[in-house]
């Protein structure tokens, strides 16, 4: 597995009080952009299916953690 990985951190909104609908819309927008970046990274690095699955699992865990921090 290649070790080069871009910064996959989605900015946290945990310290701000934002209404849920605004927070969800913003999060969905940032998440879709983030997925595009991951896809681009996977293409550039020519990741195998197994490496891509591992990357997506890591990202899912990061997102769950950020949601937990925000609430």
4 within a domain of the structure (yes/no): no
Number of structural domains, the chain? 1
**What local confidence, expressed as pLDDT, does residue 15 receive?**
52
For residue range 39-49, what is the model confidence (pLDDT) as tens digits?
Answer: 999 999 999 99
For residue range 4-46, what is the model confidence (pLDDT) as tens digits?
Answer: 555 555 555 555 666 778 888 888 898 899 999 999 999 999 9
Q: What is the DSSP string of the chain?
A: --------PPPP-TTS---HHHHHHHHHHHHHHHHHHHHHHHHHHT--HHHHHHHHHHHHHHHHHHHHHH-
41 within a domain of the structure (yes/no): yes
**What local confidence, expressed as pLDDT, does residue 44 receive?**
97
**What range defines the domain where residue 41 resides?**
20-70
pTM: 0.57
């Amino acid at each position: 597995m290649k070790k080069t990985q871009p910064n996959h951190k989605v900015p946290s909104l945990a310290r701000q009080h934002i209404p849920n609908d605004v927070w969800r819309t913003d999060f969905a927008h940032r998440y879709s952009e983030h997925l595009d970046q991951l896809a681009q990274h996977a293409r550039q690095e020519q990741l195998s299916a197994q490496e891509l699955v591992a990357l997506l699992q890591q990202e899912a865990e990061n997102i769950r953690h950020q949601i937990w921090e925000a609430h």
